[in-house]
Amino acid sequence: MRLWNFKKKTYPDYWEAYLLHFEKKEKKSLESSRFVALDCETTGFDFYIDRILSIGAVSIYKNEIAVVDSLEIYVKQTHFNPDSVPIHGILQHGKLEKCTEEDAMKQFLNYIEDAVLIAHHARFDIIMINAALNRMGLPKLKNKVIDTMDLYAKTRIKSNFIDQNAQYSLDEIAEAYAINLMDRHTASGDALIAALIFLKTTSLLKKSKSFKLKRYFLKSTMF
Amino acid sequence: MKNTIAERIADFLKNFPPFDQFSKEDLYAIAQVVTITYLEKDNMVYTAGEALHDKFYMIHKGAIALTKEINSKVETVDRFDEGDVFGLRPLFAKENYATNAVTEEESILYGIPLATFKPLISQNKDVVDFLIESFASNTENPFSKEIHGSLYDHRLEVLANDKELFELQPVRYIKKVITAKAHTKIKDIAVLMQKHKIGSILIEEDFIPIGIVTNVDLRNKVITGEHTIEDEVKHIMSAPVLCYPKGVSISQAQLTMMKHNISHLCVTADGTPNSKIIGVISQNDINVMRGSNPTVLMKAIKRSQSTKQLKHIRKKIMVLLKGFVQQNIPLTQTSKIIFELNDATIKRIIERCIVKMGKQPPVKFAWMSMGSQGRKEQLLQTDQDNAIVFENVDAEKREDVRAYFLLLSKKVNKRLNEVGFDFCPADIMAKNPKWCLSLDEWKRQFNQWTSNTGDDEILLSSIFFDFDITYGDANLTNELSDHIFDITKNNTMFLSKLAASALRSASPLGFFRRFLVEKDGEYKDFFDIKKRAIMPIVDAGRLFALSNQIKNINNTAERFEKMAELFPANEELYLSCSYASKALLKFRTKHGLLHNDNGRFIEIAALNKEEKMKLKRCFNTIARIQESIKLKYNLSNFK
């Protein structure tokens, strides 16, 4: 059994490089942190069977979304679910340039560094990524994670006429905020919408003096 | 690596000058380095005197005003809209910003780094020409709207209004000119006018203006029998046409029109009747630009062909409102005019959305506006509260019918939001299936609220019972109001609960007659005039209207006037309530205009003594009316 094996497990270099980013200890604020808004398109909703098809991500720093600092990867499909094709439009043998799952994770870790991750219904995306890491024998992501759903729900007024436990889809929020629904259901398009929702909700929420972004970090036990 | 986001940004950029002159590769190169910023209303992109940013900006969504301090007064020198570029000239001139760039509404901006842009344009002669031409003219936006006619061919450009500069601004003329040939039949000319809803048509030959025919010509020369409608237009047109070059100032155009007693001028390439037509200036459009006249605005609303136009007209309505308040026009009149304009705006949006639906409504319906718009008390732009009632239909058809109206409402709610009526945070909007009901469903809903009444039901009743029909069949809404009076008449249980809720926010003055201010949150130490003063008096008005069966009066001030008429013994109290409701509304409007918000929160420290006294007088009235409600409904235990 592994339990008795006290020898430290060795991880590939890119994982060690990723971990290194978390050793810096300076205190960070909303303005000085790097955020990465991301979205995964997958073959389905089963964390064990289904696989990531593509990851889209874009970074936010000092309240600006930097298009130049974005990531868009497509993964070669080992598992294929024809049912999901109409949603994401990614074919098993389409023309897009694709990489292996391991390559995708390498690029992804190298890109995110220690950024705070932002996604809509974040739990799903993070578990999908963790499952991919797990298949490569790697531990889970170390990054802090924020769900834009939580931020949005907090901006809604407290009213008995609104279901306080309501779940809001990305479409609903984009509609409420009149964000153009460009490229819905492409990973990058959804990541950009999540980034805009993040900018808008935080600018609303930070008006309250008691606002602390920390409170929105999801518990790591959720993943 | 594929970059979908950059591709989409490039798609957006290429629609607007100067980027329409760029090659696909260059556009993509720019799009890849764009930064995207989100700014709320009234935020600075840059300020005068600030060191240059390394980029200029393009508006993806929203609007920007450039302001400048002139004679210690901040004035707006230019305004920009979606697709416009700003902040470029200072980068080329290499001098610090001379103006402030302020967001006039919430905006999404693309930042375009000069380092990428500059090398790309040096090989592009068209772009360089643009830059030279525009930097020479005195505008901050190098790609001004006149140069790029094709993109801005709205029939009705509503210019941002700055009174100080207004007269000398160049006229924005109509670029999509409707023309006809000299041999066109008069009949066809009239059809053309009707189709485009215009009052004049230029007669051209090889794009050279040879005459103009207007409504007046038709009236004086055709209807009188002088010519028949089968005659050719050349017999009745006026010639020669008065021509001007583009860039003629507003005052010059107006003077010319007055001098010659005409309502249209032609804009030609060189300003003479011998060159190509490039546009028309009409008296009407100048009036709209001026924006000081409700009649003209009303006409503009009715003729509007896009949500964007309506949004511009809304801005003019705000200018008008500001003028009314500054000139101290009585609030009763002000609110009536603003109500009519708002009402027309909503009607126009519904009208256009029905056309967009592609088929007529399956049954009769009415669009109801609630809350302050329903009470005709909405002066500043506040949230939209609305609902739909439709004719009763068989149960099996009902969901299909509802589906139509929900889709319609979704379109209307979305456009109202674009025009400036924010979405209701509590989702009280017609697109919510809960508030898109048939007549019987509404009746059942109202029965439920008034028979099984808790706090939520009271709150809902107080929102929904103040409805006003904005569009559609008035029989439906009348039946609904009758129903409300039926079920509330002698319903003492409901009325006393409504009375109790009218007392829920206690007197706005605390102990020692200090203003009760907010204790927490964004508006700490501000006075919430809506919650603490306006709502109590509105609630009281509604209570009296319901308990005394005062029908078809929703306006709070008018409700109290009616009460004074019905109960002369208490005339003085009711009239002072009527006065207080108007005074409070005016107070809120003034402050909203001052701070460019909805005026709800007032900074007590910034009030002068007279204003404080005035407010306190209103509060005394509120205290008195609340006292009388307590007595009447035996709520003395209620605190």
Percentage of chain B exceeding pLDDT 70: 90
Q: Which amino acid is at B339?
A: F
Å between A183 CA and nearest CA of chain B:
8
Identify the pLDDT of residue B150: 31
- Give strand pairing partners of B113: B55
Identify the pLDDT of residue B146: 39
Cβ-contact B283, B264 below 8 angstroms: yes
Measured in whole angstroms, how far is the alpha carbon of residue B409 from the centre of its chain? 18
Residue B591: pLDDT band (50, 70, 90) is confident
Mean pLDDT in residue range B485-514: 80
Contacts of A183 in chain B (CB under 8 A): 4, 8
Q: Would you say residue B156 has pLDDT above 60?
A: no
Instruction: Choose the closest CB to B423 out of A159, A176, A192.
Output: A176
Q: Would you say residue B113 has pLDDT above 90?
A: yes
The values of phi and psi at residue A96, to 5°, are -60, 145
Identify the pLDDT of residue A131: 95
Cis preceding-peptide flag for B240 (omega within 30 of 0)? yes
What is the maximal distance between C-alpha atoms in chain A? 58
Predicted confidence (pLDDT) per residue in A177-186, tens digit: 888 756 677 8
Per-domain boundaries in chain B? 4-145, 179-290, 294-485, 497-632
Greatest mean pLDDT among A73-87, B134-148, B216-230: B216-230
**CA neighbor of B267 nearest in space, from B259, B181, B258, B256:** B256
Identify the pLDDT of residue A196: 93
CATH of domain A32-222: 3.30.420.10
Q: Write the ipTM.
A: 0.88
**CA neighbor of A117 nearest in space, from A205, A53, A56:** A56
Cis preceding-peptide flag for B18 (omega within 30 of 0)? yes
Mean pLDDT in residue range B253-259: 82
Residue B371: pLDDT band (50, 70, 90) is confident
Identify the pLDDT of residue B163: 45
Identify the pLDDT of residue A130: 95
What are the tokens at A119?
């996604």
Beta strand B35-39 with B85-86: parallel, antiparallel or unpaired?
unpaired
The region of weakest confidence among B142-156, B171-185, B368-382 is B142-156
Kindly state whether B318 is in contact with chain A, defined as any CB-CB distance less than 8 angstroms: no
Q: How many CB atoms lie within 10 A of CB B309?
A: 21
Mean pLDDT in residue range B611-616: 85
Rounded CA separation B157/B164 (Å):
19
B4-145, what's its fold?
Jelly Rolls (2.60.120)
Assign residue B512 a region: left if phi > 0, alpha if psi is -120 to 50, beta otherwise?
left
Identify the pLDDT of residue B632: 87
Predicted confidence (pLDDT) per residue in B471-483, tens digit: 999 999 999 999 9
Rounded CA separation B563/B569 (Å):
10
DSSP-derived 3-state class of residue B12: helix
Identify the pLDDT of residue B159: 40
Cβ-contact B258, B192 below 8 angstroms: no
* Four-CA torsion B540, B544, B546, B550, nearest 10 degrees: -130
Residue A158 or residue A114, greater confidence: A114
Measured in whole angstroms, how far is the alpha carbon of residue A195 from the centre of its chain? 10
Residues B559, B565, B570, B573: is their CA dihedral positive or negative? positive
- B35–A157 CB contact, under 8 Å: no
**CA neighbor of A111 nearest in space, from A137, A143, A136:** A143
Q: Would you say residue B138 has pLDDT above 60?
A: no
* Four-CA torsion B245, B247, B249, B250, nearest 10 degrees: 90
Identify the pLDDT of residue B147: 37
Residue B143: pLDDT band (50, 70, 90) is very low
Rounded CA separation A63/A34 (Å):
9
Rounded CA separation B382/A43 (Å):
44
Annotate B442-475 with DSSP letters as a single string.
HHHHHHHHHHS--HHHHHHHHHHTS-EEEEE-HH
Cα–Cα distance list, B4 to A54, B111, B340, B611 (Å)? 12, 18, 46, 56
Predicted confidence (pLDDT) per residue in B259-311, tens digit: 888 888 888 888 888 888 888 888 777 766 665 678 878 888 988 888 888 98
Contacts of B116 in chain A (CB under 8 A): none
With 0-12 / 13-18 / 19 or more C-beta atoms within 10 angstroms meaning exposed / middle / buried, residue B441 is middle
CATH of domain B294-485: 3.30.460.10
User: DSSP assignment, residue B435?
Assistant: G
Indicate the length of chain A as a whole number.
Answer: 223
Identify the pLDDT of residue B111: 94
Q: Would you say residue A52 has pLDDT above 80?
A: yes
The H or E element that residue B268 is part of is: strand B264-268
Cα–Cα distance list, B177 to B174, B194, B439 (Å)? 7, 15, 47
The H or E element that residue A35 is part of is: strand A34-42
Identify the pLDDT of residue B382: 75
User: DSSP assignment, residue B232?
Assistant: B
Mean pLDDT in residue range B341-365: 94
Interfacial A residues in 63-82 facing B (CB < 8 Å): 63-68, 70-74
Percentage of chain B exceeding pLDDT 90: 35
Q: Would you say residue A1 has pLDDT above 70?
A: no
Mean pLDDT in residue range B171-181: 82
Q: How many CB atoms lie within 10 A of CB B442?
A: 24
Mean pLDDT, all residues of chain A: 86
Kindly state whether B36 is in contact with chain A, defined as any CB-CB distance less than 8 angstroms: yes
Contacts of B61 in chain A (CB under 8 A): 178, 180
Beta strand B526-528 with B601-603: parallel, antiparallel or unpaired?
antiparallel
Q: Would you say residue B374 has pLDDT above 60?
A: yes
Q: Would you say residue B153 has pLDDT above 50?
A: no
Predicted confidence (pLDDT) per residue in B390-410, tens digit: 999 999 999 999 999 999 999
- Give strand pairing partners of A44: none
pTM of the model: 0.74
Identify the pLDDT of residue B154: 32
Cβ-contact B262, B280 below 8 angstroms: no
Identify the pLDDT of residue B145: 41
- A188–B3 CB contact, under 8 Å: yes
| CB pairs A-B closer than 8 Å | 89
Residue of B nearest to A190 (CA): B5
Identify the pLDDT of residue B352: 94
The region of weakest confidence among B420-424, B439-443, B599-603 is B599-603
**CA neighbor of B292 nearest in space, from B159, B105, B152:** B159
Residues A105, A106, A107, A113: is their CA dihedral positive or negative? positive
User: DSSP assignment, residue B20?
Assistant: G
Q: Would you say residue B21 has pLDDT above 90?
A: no
Residue B176 or residue B66, greater confidence: B66
Predicted confidence (pLDDT) per residue in B37-60, tens digit: 999 888 999 999 899 999 999 999
- A189–B4 CB contact, under 8 Å: yes
Residues B264, B270, B274, B278: is their CA dihedral positive or negative? negative
Rounded CA separation A50/A71 (Å):
22
CATH of B179-290 among 3.40.50.10490, 1.20.1630.10, 3.10.580.10, 3.40.50.720: 3.10.580.10
Greatest mean pLDDT among A176-185, B170-179, B412-421, B523-532: B412-421
Mean pLDDT, all residues of chain B: 84
Identify the pLDDT of residue B160: 41
**CA neighbor of B267 nearest in space, from B248, B251, B249:** B248
